[in-house]
Amino acid sequence: MRVETRTFSVIDRFELVVRPKVNPELSDFCQAFTCISQARLDAEGIPFAAALGRFEAFLDGVPVLVCNADADVYRENVEINDLPNSIPEYLRTRGRLEAIRNEFNALPLPAWARWQRAIRRAGSRPSLRTGRTTGKPRKRCTWLMGPRRSEA
């Protein structure tokens, strides 16, 4: 989706059903998990190469925030679908990631995000790779978590 960063309002959405080259028949689990039926996949599904072209047209040069392992998933799909293995600009974020983080962190947070941020700060430091928290809680913020069972 395309989002206005000042107001966090949704400007535009993009959704396609891509016909998988590997495992073209959806399992019952996959259908339940994605809410995409085999009939819908057969009727609306398009090849990955066509979907990628439409996605790039949707981007229209707008900066993109790429999360998690999207570049790895892209590379895997390029290999499966026999496409040229060149990573598009919108997936080359490592050099710009710090600037994007700084710009994003400068935005005012909605109330729900402030609370979530306070809870995360109270807990242990999240891993940059997985986003999960690891280690012991930070001492300076333990008041947000309430007393420990041994202290109660």
- One-letter identity of residue 95: G
Q: Which domain holds residue 89?
A: 2-97
- Take residue 112 and report the two structure tokens written for it: 């729900």
- Contacts with 49 (C-beta within 8 Å, 6 or more apart), sequence order: 81, 83
114 closest CA partner among 144, 84, 81, 142: 144
Number of domains in the chain: 2
Query: Which of 19-23, 70-74, 75-79, 109-113 is the least confident region?
Result: 109-113
Predicted confidence (pLDDT) at residue 70 exceeds the cutoff of 70: no
- Are residues 20 and 84 both part of a single domain? yes
Q: Which residues pair with 12 in a beta bridge?
A: 2
pTM score, whole prediction: 0.50
- Are residues 10 and 61 both part of a single domain? yes
Nearest-angstrom CA–CA distance, 143 and 51:
49
What is the per-residue pLDDT across 2-24, written as a single tens digit (0 to 9) for each? 888 788 888 888 899 999 888 88
